[in-house]
Amino acid sequence: MKVMTMSPDDITKFSKSLQEEAKTVKSQAMEHAWSMRGGCQYETILMMSPNERKMIAKITKDNLEVAKKSGMPYF
């Protein structure tokens, strides 16, 4: 088995990239929870896979487009 080693700089860069990714996931989860208006809790969305969160984002985008075209309010 080959052991992979990382320099301290590599570890710092990797850690920062993970922090940014976590920040993005949290932000998206908050947006999804808001757009679902209680239909799904923030914590539940955090537990979803990236693919599931992408599906929610597409549904939200599609619904926003429908609301724009129909003139109906989208809160």
Express each pLDDT in 10-53 by its tens digit.
Answer: 999 999 999 999 999 999 999 999 888 888 999 999 999 999 99
Give a yes or no: residue 50 inside a domain. Answer: yes
Q: Which structural domain range is residue 45 located in?
A: 25-70
Is 11 contained in some domain?
A: no
Q: What is the pLDDT of residues 41-51, one digit of tens each?
A: 999 999 999 99
In a domain, 16, yes or no: no
Report the C-alpha gap between 35 and 59 in whole angstroms. Answer: 10
Residue 75 has pLDDT above 70, yes or no: no
Give Cβ neighbours of residue 38 (< 8 Å, ≥ 6 apart): none
2 lies in a domain? no
Is 30 within a domain? yes
Q: In whole angstroms, what is the distance from residue 69 CA to residue 41 CA?
A: 28
Is 10 inside a domain boundary?
no
Q: How many domains does the chain have?
A: 1
Within a domain: 33: yes
What per-residue confidence (pLDDT) applies to 74?
Answer: 67
CB 56 within 8 A of CB 45: yes
Report how far residue 29's alpha carbon sits from residue 68's, in angstroms, rounded to the nearest whole number.
Answer: 23
Looking at per-residue confidence, does 20 or 59 come out higher?
20
Q: How far is CA 58 from CA 5, 6, 42, 49, in A?
A: 39, 37, 17, 14
